[in-house]
Chain A
Amino acid sequence: MPSPTGVLAPSLTTFTRSVRSKGVSVESSIDNLVSLFKRRQIRDSRPCAVATAQLLRRVVETSKVTDISKLIERVRQIGQRLISAQPRELSIGNIVRRVLGVIREEVEEDREGETSGYSDAGTDSRPQTPKEQDSRTPEPSTLSSRSLTTSPLRHGEMDSILEEVGDERPQRPPLLTSHTSYAVTNTAPTVTSMFSLLSYPRSNIHSPTATPGSQSPSIHLSLSSQALANAGAVKDLKAEVVEGIHEILEELNQADDQIAGYALEHIHSNEVILTHTSSLTVQKFLLKAAAKRKFTVVHAEAYPNHHEATHADVIGRTKSESDDSLSSEVFQKTLTAAGITVVLIPDSAVFALMSRVNKVILDTHVVLVNGDIVAAAGAKALAKAAKLHSTPVVVLSGVYKLSPVYPFDPDALMEDGDPSKVITYEDGDFVDKIEIENPLFDYVPVELVSLYITNLGGHAPSYLHCIINDHYRAEDLDLDISDVYQ
C-alpha cells in the first residue's frame, strides 16, 4: 500500500526498520519509541509489546555492560520511560518485566553452573534452579522458543500438581474437565515435565513468598562480582538473553495461533457465539473452529471506535493498518467464506440477542492480576448481559497481556479517545455546548468472566496469578507501580 515515493508516517513498521538498522543509536531508538508511544502512533497491546521487545533486544545487544546488575538497572530505567509514555498500555510493562526475568534467570543459571560446587549457593533458590535447568534439558539447543515450550510445559506440570493437590481449583467450570488431560496428552514435552515433577517434587511449591524476592539482592551482588571476573561468561549471557528476548518476540507472533489451537475444545457445532469488536485473535480462533464445525457468529460492531474495522472483518477487507507488519496472514479469510453464518448487530442489540447466545468470546486489552480485564468499550455491557443470562464469557488473551498490576484505581486504566468518533467535529453547536466523551476501554470485573484462554490453554480466573507468578519475577513487580497511577 505505501507508494514507493510516499513518505511513511512513523509507525511500528518504520520503528522496526529503524531499530534494526545499525546507523541509529540506541538512545535515539529509545527516544523515538517513547515519542511514538506518546503520539499513539504505536498502540494496542501487541504492537506495543512487539516494539518494546525489539527495543530491549537492541538495548541488550549493544550494551557493553559487564556488570549484570547494571544491565538490569538500565533495562528497568528504559522500561520506566516507556511505561510512562503510555501508562495505560500495560503490555509494555509486561514485556519489560519478562525481559528482566529472562536476564535474572540466565544470571542465576550461570551462577548455578559456576558455583555448583559451593555450599553457599543460597539454599532458597535451589528448589527453583534445578527445575529451570531440567525443563530445558529436553531440547537443549533447538531454536524453538523456550518460553513457548516451557510455558505449556510448566503449565502441564502445574496442572497435574493441582490435580494432586485438588483443592486449588474449586471454581473450574465443567467445560474444562477435559482440558488437563488434553494438555497432558497433546503436548509431548509434558511427559518430561512429569518426570521433572517426580524427580523434583518440591519444585511445584510456587508460593510467592518462598521464591525470588528475598534472595535476589544477595544473588546480584555476589553474582556481579563473579560476572566481572570472567567477561566471557557475560558475553555468553548476553547472547542468551538476546535469545530469550527473541523467544518472547516469537511468542508474541504466535500467541494468536496458539490460542486458536484451543478453539475446537470450546466451540461446538450449532452453537451461537457472540463476539465484539474487530480482533485478529478472535477472528483466528473462530476460523480455526470453523474449519471443523458449523456454528453461528453474532458480531457486535463496537461503535464508535471499531465499527469500521469490524465491518471490514465481516466483509473481508484487508486488516487495518495497525496489524500490517505483524502477521503474514494480513489477508484473513472471512468467516462467511468459511461457511459460517455471521450476523452483524449494533451494540445496543446485544441484550436482546443474549438469550439465544451460547457463548460470548471477547478479545481483551489487558488482563489484570485479579482477573479483571480492560477491553474495548462496550464489553462490559455485553458481559453484564451475559451474566444475567448465565451465558459463559470466554476471554482470549495472550500471556503477554497478563499484567501483574493490581487495579487499585480502575479509572486510571481507562483512556478517553477522540470524541469526533461520536459526534463529528463539523457540528459546531455540539462541539461548543456539549461535553462528549469517548472512552476507548471498558473495565470488566472478574465476576463477569468465566474463562480465560491464553496461549497456554484455558484457565479459571482464580488461576491467573499462578501464570503471572510463572512469568514475572517478584522483584520486578513493582517496576512501575508509581508510574501507572500517576
Chain B
Amino acid sequence: MPPKNPKAAKAKQKPQEEQREESLQAVVLADSFETRFVPFTLERPRCLLPLANTPLIEYTLEFLAHAGVQEVYVYCGSHAEQLEDYINASKWTSKSSPFRTLKVLKSTATSVGEAMRSLDQLDVITGDFLLVSGDVVSNMNLEPALLKHRARREKSKDAIMTMVLREAGVGHRTKSKGSRPVFVIDPAAERCLHYEEMGGRRGGSRYVTLDPELLTSHGEIEVRDDLIDCHIDICALDVLAQWSDNFDFQSLRKSFLRGVLKDYETYGKTVHTYIVTDQYAARVKSLRAYDAVSKDILGRWAYPLCPDSNLVPGQSYYFGRGKVYQENNVSLGRAAVVKRSVIGSGTSVGDGGMINRSTVGRRCRIGKNVTIEGAYIWDDVTVEDGSIIRQAIIANGTSIGKHCPIEPGALISFRAQIPENTKVSAESKIIRDRETGYSNDRKADDSDASSVASSRLIYRNPSASSSVSSISTLTSSDADLKSDRDASRRSSYRSDPSDDARENQDFHLEATGSILDGLQKSDPADTIMLELNGYRMSTNASQHEVRKAVVAAFMKRISNLIARDNTAGAAPLTLREAVKAVLTEYKSLVERTTFDSEAEEKVDQVDFLLLVQKEAMGRPNGDQLLLFMANEAYDLDVIEEDGVLQWWEDERSQEGEMGTVRVLSEQFITFLKEAEEDESEDEDDEEDDD
C-alpha cells in the first residue's frame, strides 16, 4: 500500500500544524473515588454502568466530542482493564474518531488529588484543558465558556479555572439532596469567592461562614445554592501545578477549590464560574442522580442525547407512540402495556406486562403479568411471571423467580438469583453468593456483600446522596478502589488509605501519627487522649474514625516493638508480649473510645474488633495477632464477653480474608462459649486457654 503512506504522513503533519492553533485537551476522571454505586461498582466501574442502556462514559465522550475536544485522557482507577477494553473496542478509538488522541491512563491513585499529581508528572497536558468526571451528561455548548475563559486568561494569568455550573431551581430532582454545594460568587467578575458544602448527614454545617472582608471588598456578591455542580472545569495548566504544590489536596471541590480560594491573598489565583441556564448538564454522582438523569434523558431534556439518537454503534432505537424508545427485535406480548420506557433489542415482554417509566436492557425476558415501574433493568435479566418490580435497579444477568415483589430501592447486583416468591424488601442490596460464583480473586467486598443490609444509597431517600462516610467504613471500603487496595496494602503505611471518605483521610493519617508518636514516647494515655479528642473536635471526625486511628497506631506500635527488638538485640519481645505491653498500658485509650459497655448491643466494641481484624488481615502472622489482641482486650476488660461474641457473629467478620484471619481465634471463642455455660470457672480457665 505505498500510496497510503505519504498520505498518512501528510495527515500527521497537518494536525500538528492545526494543533498549535486550536487543540483542546480533556481529562476524564473515569474513577469517581467514591462508593456510591456499591454493589454495582464491585464488578464494574461506574462509568460503564448503563444509563438508559448506554454506558455512562459514552455520554461524557459525546459531550467532549460535541465541544470539539481533540485530545482526551481517560484516567481510570478501579477496573481499569474493563474500561480500557471497552474504550478500545468503541468508536472513539476508531480511525474516524472525533478525537485525535484518546489515551487510557491506568493508575493506582486513590483520590482525585493523586490522579492530578500523577497527570502533572506525565506532562501530556500542554495548555488549557477540560477536566470532567466520567459520569457527566450534558448537551451544553461549551464555546462561550471557553471563549470567556480565554479572554480572562488573556487579561490575567491568575484566572486559572472556570467552573461550569448549571442553574437549577429549588428542590430540583437532579440536584443532590445531601450535601449542597454553596457558591459565593461575584457576579460582575464571575468569580467564585467562597465555596462550602452545606447540609449533608455527617457534620456538614448548616451555616456558611463568610469572611467579612468579602462583603467590603466586593460591590455585589451572590450566595447560591441552586447550582448543579456537574464537575466540568476548564483549567489552565497552572491548575496541575497547584495540585502538585499542595500535596494534601485530595478532592476537587472540598480541598482544591477551597484551598485555592483561601490562598487568594497569598497567591492571587482566581477561580471563575460560568453559569449555564439553558442547556442540560448533570452528573450521575449517586443513585439518586442516576434516577433523575435517567428520567431527564427519557424526557429528552438532554436532547440530542436521547436513546433514539443511537449514539453508540449498533443501537437501533426509535421513538414511538407512548413515549417508548424501542429497539428492533423487541417482542411485546398481547395486552402488554409499555409507556415512557426504553427497551433494548432481543427483549420479550409477556402477556399482560406493564412497564412504565423504566429502562429494560437487551435480551431480557420478562414473563407474563409482570409489573415494572420506575425500575432500571440492565441486560440479560430474566423476570418470571407475576413479579412486581418498583423503583429498583437490577443488574446484568440477574434472574428473578415467579411472584417476587421487589420493593422500592432494592439494588440487585450482577448475576444474582432470586428464587420464587421471595420478597426483596425495600432498600436492600443483594449480590450473588460468593461461593457459587465469585471465582476471581478480587474477593467480594468484606461486608456489604451478601448481607441484605440496608442500603442508605437509595435514591428515594433524600439523604441518599449525602456523604460516603455515613456508611460504615467497612462497607464503603474498597468498592471503587479495589485494585488500588492491594497496592496500598503492600505499602509501608498500614492504614489502608482507600478506606474512608477522602475528607477523613487527613484526620486518619494525622491522628494515627500523633497516637503513634505518643506511644513511642510512652506518653501517658491521658495526654494522648486529650490530643486526640482535640483533634477529633476540630475535624469533626466520628468515633469510628478515632477508633480506627487508635487501632492503626496500636498495630504499628506492636510491629515496631517486634522489629526493634530483633535489631536492637534487647530482650526479644514475642508478638504476644508486645500486644500485652501495648494494650495494658494504653487500654484506657480503647475504653474511652467505646461507649457501649452498658448497652445490650456492643456496636462500638464490635467495631473495634472488626478494625483490629481488618488491620491484622494484611500483616504477617495476622491470625495470631488477632487472637492475641482479642484475648488481651478481653482479659483487660476492655472488651466484654458479649462484645467478642457479637463480633464473632457479625457477618462482616466472616467473609473473605477476614474469615481466614480469624480462624486461629476460633479456639478462643469456643472457650468463651463454653465458659459462658459454666460461668463459675470463667476466670481460671481463661488463663489455661492461652
Which A positions have Cβ atoms within 8 angstroms of B? Answer: 3-10, 14, 21-25, 27-32, 35, 38-41, 84-85, 87, 411-412, 416-420, 424-429, 431-432, 435-436, 438, 486
Produce 1/0 per residue, B417-459, CB < 8 A to A. 0000000000000000000000000000000000000000000
Query: Quick check: is B634 within 8 A (CB to CB) of the other chain?
Result: no
B538 proximity list for chain A (CB < 8 A): none
User: Do B7 and A22 touch across chains, with their CB atoms under 8 A apart?
Assistant: yes
With A and B bound together, what is the CA distance between A3 and B146 in angstroms? 11
From B175, B277, B302, B311, contact of A424 by CB (8 A): B277
Q: A30-B96, A435-B299 are in contact. Are A426 and B226 (CB under 8 A)?
A: yes
Select from chain A the residue with minimum beta-carbon distance to B170.
Answer: A428
User: Do A428 and B171 touch across chains, with their CB atoms under 8 A apart?
Assistant: yes
Produce 1/0 per residue, B149-186, CB < 8 A to A. 01000000000000000111111111100000000000
Query: Quick check: is B62 within 8 A (CB to CB) of the other chain?
Result: yes
User: Do B98 and A5 touch across chains, with their CB atoms under 8 A apart?
Assistant: no
Query: Quick check: is B66 within 8 A (CB to CB) of the other chain?
Result: yes
User: Do B309 and A25 touch across chains, with their CB atoms under 8 A apart?
Assistant: no
Closest 5 CB pairs of A and B: A31-B96, A428-B172, A28-B96, A23-B11, A418-B303
With A and B bound together, what is the CA distance between A4 and B150 in angstroms? 11
Select from chain A the residue with minimum beta-carbon distance to B150.
Answer: A5
A412 proximity list for chain B (CB < 8 A): 318, 320
Query: Quick check: is B33 within 8 A (CB to CB) of the other chain?
Result: no
Select from chain A the residue with minimum beta-carbon distance to B172.
Answer: A428
Query: Quick check: is B85 within 8 A (CB to CB) of the other chain?
Result: no
User: Do B172 and A38 touch across chains, with their CB atoms under 8 A apart?
Assistant: no
From B11, B21, B143, B172, contact of A9 by CB (8 A): B143
From A24, A30, A87, A418, contact of B300 by CB (8 A): A418
Q: A5-B150, A6-B143, A7-B68 are in contact. Are A431 and B173 (CB under 8 A)?
A: yes
Q: Beyond A39-B304, A426-B168, list 16 extra A-B contacts (CB 8 Å).
A: A3-B147, A7-B24, A7-B68, A7-B143, A9-B67, A22-B7, A25-B11, A32-B96, A35-B91, A38-B309, A38-B311, A40-B304, A417-B300, A418-B303, A426-B226, A428-B169
User: Do A432 and B168 touch across chains, with their CB atoms under 8 A apart?
Assistant: no
With A and B bound together, what is the CA distance between A150 and B321 in angstroms? 43
B296 proximity list for chain A (CB < 8 A): 431
From A10, A27, A417, contact of B66 by CB (8 A): A10
User: Do A39 and B62 touch across chains, with their CB atoms under 8 A apart?
Assistant: yes
With A and B bound together, what is the CA distance between A32 and B302 in angstroms? 21
A419 proximity list for chain B (CB < 8 A): 299-301
A7 proximity list for chain B (CB < 8 A): 22-24, 67-70, 143, 146
A23 proximity list for chain B (CB < 8 A): 7, 10-11, 14-15
Give chain B nearest CB distance to A135 CB in angstroms.
39
User: Do A420 and B280 touch across chains, with their CB atoms under 8 A apart?
Assistant: yes
User: Do A9 and B91 touch across chains, with their CB atoms under 8 A apart?
Assistant: no
> Can you report 5 A-B residue pairs in the complex whose CB atoms are below 8 A from each other?
A7-B23, A23-B11, A23-B15, A432-B173, A436-B299
User: Do B67 and A486 touch across chains, with their CB atoms under 8 A apart?
Assistant: no
User: Do A9 and B142 touch across chains, with their CB atoms under 8 A apart?
Assistant: yes
Q: Is the interface of B mostly helix, strand, loop or mixed?
A: loop
Segment 4-32 of B: residues with Cβ below 8 Å from A: 7, 10-11, 14-15, 21-24
B97 proximity list for chain A (CB < 8 A): 31
User: Do B7 and A38 touch across chains, with their CB atoms under 8 A apart?
Assistant: no
Produce 1/0 per residue, B120-160, CB < 8 A to A. 00000000000000000001011100110010000000000
Produce 1/0 per residue, B202-241, CB < 8 A to A. 0000000000000000000000001000000000000000
Give chain A nearest CB distance to B312 CB in angstroms.
10
From B23, B98, B166, contact of A10 by CB (8 A): B98
Q: Which of A7, A84, A420, A431 has the most CB of B within 10 A?
A: A7
Give chain A nearest CB distance to B337 CB in angstroms.
16
Number of A-B contacts (CB under 8 A): 144
**How many residues on B have C-beta within 8 angstroms of the other chain's C-beta atoms?**
62
User: Do B301 and A431 touch across chains, with their CB atoms under 8 A apart?
Assistant: yes
Give chain A nearest CB distance to B202 CB in angstroms.
25
Select from chain A the residue with minimum beta-carbon distance to B15.
Answer: A23
B340 proximity list for chain A (CB < 8 A): 435
User: Do B150 and A429 touch across chains, with their CB atoms under 8 A apart?
Assistant: no
Q: A9-B142, A418-B300, A418-B303 are in contact. Are A24 and B316 (CB under 8 A)?
A: no
B91 proximity list for chain A (CB < 8 A): 31, 35
Select from chain B the residue with minimum beta-carbon distance to A86.
Answer: B309
Give chain B nearest CB distance to A407 CB in angstroms.
15
With A and B bound together, what is the CA distance between A9 and B70 in angstroms? 11
Query: Quick check: is B101 within 8 A (CB to CB) of the other chain?
Result: no
With A and B bound together, what is the CA distance between A427 and B278 in angstroms? 12
User: Do B95 and A28 touch across chains, with their CB atoms under 8 A apart?
Assistant: yes
Segment 259-307 of B: residues with Cβ below 8 Å from A: 277-280, 296, 299-304
Q: A21-B14, A418-B303 are in contact. Are A486 and B68 (CB under 8 A)?
A: no
With A and B bound together, what is the CA distance between A471 and B453 in angstroms? 68
User: Do B96 and A426 touch across chains, with their CB atoms under 8 A apart?
Assistant: no
With A and B bound together, what is the CA distance between A432 and B177 in angstroms? 14
Q: A23-B7, A486-B318 are in contact. Are A6 and B147 (CB under 8 A)?
A: yes
User: Do A8 and B68 touch across chains, with their CB atoms under 8 A apart?
Assistant: yes
Give chain B nearest CB distance to A308 CB in angstroms.
11
User: Do B146 and A6 touch across chains, with their CB atoms under 8 A apart?
Assistant: yes
With A and B bound together, what is the CA distance between A21 and B11 in angstroms? 9
Q: A3-B147, A10-B65 are in contact. Are A39 and B95 (CB under 8 A)?
A: no
Q: Which of A23, A24, A40, A429 has the most CB of B within 10 A?
A: A23
Give chain A nearest CB distance to B251 CB in angstroms.
26
User: Do B320 and A31 touch across chains, with their CB atoms under 8 A apart?
Assistant: no
Select from chain A the residue with minimum beta-carbon distance to B12.
Answer: A23
Select from chain B the residue with minimum beta-carbon distance to A10.
Answer: B68
From B11, B62, B169, B300, contact of A416 by CB (8 A): B300
With A and B bound together, what is the CA distance between A21 and B17 in angstroms? 14
A30 proximity list for chain B (CB < 8 A): 96
Query: Quick check: is B94 within 8 A (CB to CB) of the other chain?
Result: yes
Give chain A nearest CB distance to B639 CB in angstroms.
49
User: Do A418 and B301 touch across chains, with their CB atoms under 8 A apart?
Assistant: yes
Q: Which of A416, A426, A436 has the most CB of B within 10 A?
A: A426
Q: A25-B95, A428-B170, A432-B173 are in contact. Are A41 and B66 (CB under 8 A)?
A: yes
B277 proximity list for chain A (CB < 8 A): 424, 426
Produce 1/0 per residue, B308-323, CB < 8 A to A. 0111000010111101
With A and B bound together, what is the CA distance between A289 and B296 in angstroms? 46
A417 proximity list for chain B (CB < 8 A): 300, 303
Query: Quick check: is B328 within 8 A (CB to CB) of the other chain?
Result: yes
Give chain B nearest CB distance to A88 CB in angstroms.
9
B301 proximity list for chain A (CB < 8 A): 418-420, 425, 431
User: Do B279 and A420 touch across chains, with their CB atoms under 8 A apart?
Assistant: yes
B171 proximity list for chain A (CB < 8 A): 428-429
Q: A9-B141, A87-B318 are in contact. Are A426 and B95 (CB under 8 A)?
A: no
A24 proximity list for chain B (CB < 8 A): 11
From B10, B14, B94, B279, contact of A31 by CB (8 A): B94
Give chain B nearest CB distance to A10 CB in angstroms.
6
A429 proximity list for chain B (CB < 8 A): 169, 171
Select from chain B the residue with minimum beta-carbon distance to A484.
Answer: B318
With A and B bound together, what is the CA distance between A41 and B305 in angstroms? 12
Select from chain A the residue with minimum beta-carbon distance to B278.
Answer: A420
User: Do A35 and B65 touch across chains, with their CB atoms under 8 A apart?
Assistant: yes
With A and B bound together, what is the CA distance between A412 and B318 in angstroms? 8
With A and B bound together, what is the CA distance between A222 and B98 in angstroms? 42
With A and B bound together, what is the CA distance between A418 and B302 in angstroms? 7
Give chain B nearest CB distance to A78 CB in angstroms.
13
B146 proximity list for chain A (CB < 8 A): 6-7
A486 proximity list for chain B (CB < 8 A): 316, 318, 328
Select from chain A the residue with minimum beta-carbon distance to B141.
Answer: A9
With A and B bound together, what is the CA distance between A23 and B8 in angstroms? 7
B299 proximity list for chain A (CB < 8 A): 419, 431, 435-436
B23 proximity list for chain A (CB < 8 A): 7
B323 proximity list for chain A (CB < 8 A): 435
A41 proximity list for chain B (CB < 8 A): 66
From A5, A25, A29, A84, contact of B22 by CB (8 A): A5
